[in-house]
Structure 1
Amino acid sequence: MPTVAPLDLDGHCMAAAFLGDVPVFALASGMVHRLDHGTHAHELHDGLLTAARSQDGLSLLSGGEDGKVMRIDRDGTITEIRGPARKWVSVVASGPQGAVAWAEGRQATVRLADGTTRELTEDRTVEAIGFAPKGMRVALARYNGVSLHWVAGSARPVDLEWKGAHSAVTFSPDGRFVVTAMQENALHGWKIDGKPGDEPKHMRMTGYPAKIKSLSWSVKGRWLASSGAISAIVWPFSGKDGPMGKPPLELGLRSDTMVTCVACHPAEELVAIGFADGMVLAVRLADSREALLRRPGKGPISSLSWRADGRLLAFGSETGDCGVIDIAG
């Protein structure tokens, strides 16, 4: 049976993550709590708006109402990447080779490991940033679509147009697809691996009763799990054209409670599903077999993150009801 080590914090948990073996919990207040031979509290922001784990899994990036962009390492070392500014930083993202990106209003900034920066300006507010799995390329989600920019060089960005507000963006692990979450309770995707000059193919993934706030790719990129319904909606991406013409899996169905967060296992085709009542399930994609990881708690699950070996799962909620689950018991 799984065992749960609870951690009761004060406020909305924006991100729960493992930095190496150290679980951390970033709160909207700007405090980050590390569990490393005791609980350690660090104040990173005067109001935290966004946080994302680095691609190497050893640090957490954050942006806040104070305009700062910060990094905290697993040992508690804090680095100020960008100092205080007037505009809020509501988007941060981690890229390959130590790259970091953030957005404020219509401008996105990409900072490389050597300290050089590239500024990218859109006509509308940048709502989300995603790095391509290979090459220094970023996707900027905005109203009416996504712009794909090469960070180096002067090549014109590729515009992926689709009317509506796009609030999240992700590349598939193989780089063949770009998928966004929309304000219109839908996902939209583009197939971008065609020949030069070809129009990207569109993928519409609709039917959600609520906004999609969580997306997670399976370990080999064959599936994309999403929140926003009374079950986790998991789309197939293994074929040439992704999910076009194929129905999704519906995992962890509960008739009265919405899925608020999803996190695919780092080694197995398994997804952790968090619900609005604080429950957490693990469901196997192959046969939909379920395992209860945590009973309902005090508030909606807002973040889920696996340790690299897939044995431990960190969770956070909107009420600060946090903790770590050992799935092996």
Structure 2
Amino acid sequence: MPTVAPLDLEGHVVAAHFLGDTPFFATAAGEIRRLDGGEKVTEAHNGLLTCVKDPFSAALLTGGEDGKVMRIAGDGTATQIAEAPRKWINVVAGGPQGAVAYAHGKSSVVVLADGSAKEFAEERTVEALAFAPKGLRIAAARYNGVSLHWVNTQLPAADLDWKGAHTGVTFSPDGRFLVTTMQENALHGWKLDGKAGEARHMRMTGYPSKVKSYSWSPKGKWLATSGAPAAIVWPFSAKDGPMGKAPLELGTRANILATCVAFHPVEEVLAIGFIDGMILGVRVGDGKEALLRRPGKGAITSMSWSSNGKLIAFGSEAGDCGVIDISA
């Protein structure tokens, strides 16, 4: 049976992440707490709005109500990347070659490793940003679609249009697909490697609730999502992705919503957090389930695996969080 080391923090836990095998917890008050031979605290913001793991480096990236964009290193050191006075920074993303992106209002800004910045004007408010896995290309999700920018060229943005509000954005690990979460209970996707004139849209609908969490399997074969009383897992291994294929439903629980999903770093094993605080581990191949945590005080809002795949850090909206050791 997995063991759970609980950690009670005041207020909402915005994110739980690992840098290597050290767990970090970011609170809405602006503290970054890490469990590294005891609990240690970094004061990052006066009000923290977002905290993401940089997929291209061993660091966390944060944005706050104080208009600052910060990089948090594995030892807890906080370095300011950018500042937009009197703006709330709730969208940040990490990219290749040390690039960091953030957004406020109708502007996307990319800060390069040398400190220089490039700003891209959007027609509507930027809701989410993501870097492509290769090349310095950024996707900005907004109302009625996504804008794709090559950071180091003067080329105009490529627009991917689909009516409605797009609230999250992610590239598949191989860069062949782009998927957004929407304000309505749906995902929308585009096939980026199709021939000119090919139908590129992918509609992924049928959710009873909004999709707020998603996670790619290690090799990009599957995209797991929250928003239903199970994890909805879409197949992306075929050349047309999930078009014409039904998703898997893993960890089904009657009328209890899955609120957070996180794939194991190496294996096709999915951690699923629910609105009642329960966490299940499910193997994609056969649907075999393991109870990782019993229900708690609040909905699971964030989960992350350690680099060795033996630990899961989790956070909830009630502040009851902790670390699960699945090797126990």
Place the TM-score, normalised by the shorter chain, in its bin: over 0.9
Shift of 1:316: 0.5
- Mapped partners of 2:216, 2:223: distance in 1: 5
Query: What's 2:292 paired with?
Result: 293
Of 57-66 and 134-143, the range deviating more from structure 2: 57-66
Shift of 1:198: 3.8
- Do the aligned partners of 2:56 and 2:95 also contact (CA within 8 Å) in 1? no
Query: What's 1:253 paired with?
Result: 252
Query: What's 2:170 paired with?
Result: 170
1:121–1:8: structure 2 CA closer, same or farther, 3 Å change rule? Answer: same
Query: What's 2:243 paired with?
Result: 244
Shift of 1:69: 0.6
Q: Deviations over 1:163-221 (max 9, x none)?
A: 000000000011110000000110000001023x4456100000111111001000110
Query: What's 1:148 paired with?
Result: 148
- Do the aligned partners of 2:173 and 2:220 also contact (CA within 8 Å) in 1? yes
Shift of 1:84: 5.6
Query: What's 2:129 paired with?
Result: 129
Unpaired runs of 5+ residues, structure 1, are none
What TM-score comes out, normalization by structure 1 length?
0.98
Q: Deviations over 1:204-260 (max 9, x none)?
A: 000111111001000110000000000000000000100011000000000031000
Shift of 1:39: 0.5
1:199–1:161: structure 2 CA closer, same or farther, 3 Å change rule? Answer: farther
1:57–1:262: structure 2 CA closer, same or farther, 3 Å change rule? Answer: farther
Shift of 1:61: 0.6
Paired residues for 1:200-279 under 5 Å = 201-279=200-278
- Mapped partners of 1:288, 1:57: distance in 2: 32
Q: Secondary structure of the equivalent of 1:10?
A: coil
Runs of 4+ in 1 over 6 A off after TM superposition: none
Of 293-302 and 73-82, the range deviating more from structure 2: 73-82
Question: What is the Cα-based RMSD across aligned positions, in Å?
Answer: 1.0
- Do the aligned partners of 2:207 and 2:228 also contact (CA within 8 Å) in 1? yes
Q: Deviations over 1:105-145 (max 9, x none)?
A: 11011111111211011010000001101000010000000
Letter in 1 for 2:297: K
- Mapped partners of 2:75, 2:18: distance in 1: 12
- Do the aligned partners of 2:56 and 2:94 also contact (CA within 8 Å) in 1? no
User: How many equivalent residue pairs?
Assistant: 328
Letter in 1 for 2:38: G
Q: Secondary structure of the equivalent of 1:97?
A: helix
Paired residues for 1:57-72 under 5 Å = 57-72=57-72
Query: What's 1:309 paired with?
Result: 308
